[in-house]
Structure 1
Amino acid sequence: MRLQNIPALSQPRSKITRRRQRNPANLHPISTSSATPLAFSVGLWNCQSAVNKTDFISGFSLKSTLSILGLTETWIRPEDSATPAALSTNFSFSHTSRQVGRGGGTGLLVSNNWKYSTRSTPCNYNSFESHAITVSAPIKLQIVVIYRPPGQILATFLEELDGLLSSFVEDDTLLLVFGDFSIHLDKPYATDFHSLLASFDLKRLTTTSTHKSGNQLDLIYTRNCAADNILVQPLHISDHFFITFTLHFATSVPPTPLPVTFRLNLRSLSPSHLSSVVSSSLPSPTHFSSLDVNAATDTLCSTLTSCLDDICLLSSRSARAAPSNPWLSDVLREHRTKLRVAERKWHKSNNPSDQSRYQSLLSSFSADVHTAKSSHFHNKINSTPDMRNLFRTFNSLLCPPPPPPTTSITADDFATFFTDKTRSISGQFSPPRTQDPQPTTSTAKTPIFSFCPLTEAEVSKLLLSNHPTTCPLDPIPSHLLQAITPTHHQHIPPHRHLPHCVQAGSGNPTAQKNLH
């Protein structure tokens, strides 16, 4: 059997050129989700001994669905481990006991789903007790609970509280400060306390009475967050009431807007337009001349200022955001915060021990900054791609051009040259001709009681001949006043009237006596 070749028909395939390009039909807008606000319940209670109330505290917190509970007067001694263990059955309990004496103590009951670390205080305080933690999940939050025993000196308490609050970095991190402050807010001495908390941008949560005596002793302060659903419940097992509230905050804190400055857009201003508006706004020359010097000055200044504000638009300009130093790490920021706390404490106490501690921290901080800068620039130099440009820059800094040759001219040589030059110039003048002295005639000094009013030409000459410098006392910039003066003579009578009033004995206007 013989196999025959089967003919195959083929034709050349055309080359297909595909161009890769964007297809707008495949683009879909991405839906942006706004920051989801988180909320959790917080409680505060002066339990007056948590040793015999562990079951009640844990059960009541679970019933109220609290995530955080601040406790004051826990009365837990340093050697007591049973009470913290009993409170840690359903929560995580962190506390600080009073080291000397009975009573006192502060603590925080935190949900088991939260991650936190205990925060150490800058120093030991004598006027109050505190316990602080830093929550890292689900949100970054700093919490401090404070107990101030009654009878402590308020000035000492404010000074030490200032040091504690200064240890918290003022950034976008949420801050919760609450506890039993034992301060009557309706007393006059509470003004300094309000001012101190307000200086740290802490806002007080308004509640009803928190003690059975009708006073608000348990206070709550927050920063960068809001609170609502406040509930104050009296309990028979303590003189203080149980406070619960809800904290709200966003998962992503919006960036702080840059400050905006406003100024008048004088470039778009027409002097002729300003001149016509001022002419129509000023009173008549007859009415203006009847006013005293203060009224005339106020009328002129207010008219000029209002006319400029009406026709000149405000332009805004945002300030440039200054980037933070790349070598400034979180560790250095923490050291800087401690340094500022020590400095403020030294300035307030003037104690040599506080000064020595501040100087020690300053020396340590300066050394750390020098090390951080050296490491940062060392890494930056090693990672640069253009080594030739880097060498050229450093070569110009390390090997500057040679200085000019030293000269042998001294100060005495310069003084001699100057004296000879002066004598040579003086010798070029002919000596003056002497004349017979004229007999002097004595003139009687008569007092001047009146002055002639200035003419329009004289006032215009004074205004136009001066350098246009502007100070805060001027109603409008000086160059604008010079620009509108020769255009319309209606502006001259007020200027003529004011110098005449001053010359006549009315004195300088009161508005021109203010210091800025």
Structure 2
Amino acid sequence: MVPHSNSFTNFAIWNARSVKARGKSTAICDFVISKQLHFFAVTETWLTNSDRDNRALADIRTTLPNFEFHHSPRLSGKGGGVGVLLHKGFKVSVNREFTFKSFEHIDLMLRSSGSTDLRLVVIYRPPSSARKRETLSTFFNELSTLVEVLCINHQRLLIVGDFNVHVDDPNNVDAQRFLSLLDVANLHNHIKSPTHSSGHTLDLVISRDSDDLVLTSSTDSSLPSDHRSAICGLSFARPLPVKRTVVLRKCKDIDQQDFQKDIQKSQLFTDSLDECGDLADLYNEEMQRLLDQHAPLEEKEFILRPQAPWYSDALRRSKQERRRAERAVYKSGLQIHKDIYKEKCKSYLFLLRQTKEDYFLKKIDYRDQRGLYRMVRTLSSPHASSQILPCHDSPGQLAESFCSFFDEKVKRIRQELDASISEDLSVPVKDRCSSYLTEFHTVSEDELVNIVKGTSNSYCDLDPIPTSLLKKVISQ
């Protein structure tokens, strides 16, 4: 079992064979939640750093708002790519000192409260093929260069990934050369059991012997791939919870009768003003004052946690059946129990994907057009919740930049239209208008109430009180 003390961090490495495949991102999120992982390294992400990645990344962001995904996609060709799903409680910096031809990698520096820095390097070496010019000799030379630099530094070191070297085969010359390189650098591989369906150990977790970093290690085959995931408990302080502070008002707790009585006692009814502008200013000031009195602004801090509202009792029972089948495999080792366990894993992952799809289909059925747009944006854009604004030092500067942008845009459109018009255009205009506006009639109180009650509940920060609250007090 992986330790869960505050002094330990839970970590896993897995070859995904495409994060973008149907259901893979959902399976990753479920795995992170169930194993209580703090970071999860993934090889063969198949991400391309294009808009095609958005659905998978948005799925991860929606389910794991307290995590962020750092990845290095393959620059050319299909497949490949490495990434790390990290808890936001870690302070992260990316090292870009090296580029290599024979393998892909991402190099991160992690810092957690009360711990020394941890340098995490995730590596994926594609298997040798006729198309690949880079030989194993190139790989060993480049890996040796990287290891030499890493071992010079004093940070704690963790090298993980899919090296595609059969380190389990004592007669394999390449494996012996690889293990000899680790031994010379005082590095040690902690994964001893097979990580591939063929029975070989390809996915490795490597650290210094002197660091005492890796405390426990095991493998898990519940994820959909021909690679098993390697799970480790690290002697590295787990990150602090990610907290978010919001400012809100408890408008639902307002006593509407008391609020209406205070409105009637306010200067709106005692002061006599004739100018429309003065009346509007007085309305804004008094309503804002009364809102602050009955529902003052409050700061509330909450912890970001994984969100899986689609998780059901049926999924829980299916996961229990999968665990029972897994225990039977460990107990007997019989092939029939292994086959049953594989079927239970497939059944759980299918039910997980189907349950999640049904959940969102039901939510879509009850959405209006605006709500549907928001949901689609959330599920298809990894940055849907981010506020994307131009760089600015003050709200005034932001307003000026918006004004300048649209002013220049209008000028540019006018210039383009003027340049495209070759002939003078004339529009026939009648000499006289048949409609006349001769007078205004006084709006009655009932008409005003009906107009307010017929408006939308949406409002902005410039409104003195929420529109929904105004509708309630104006109708009494």
TM-score by structure 2 length?
Answer: 0.43
Higher-Rg structure is 1
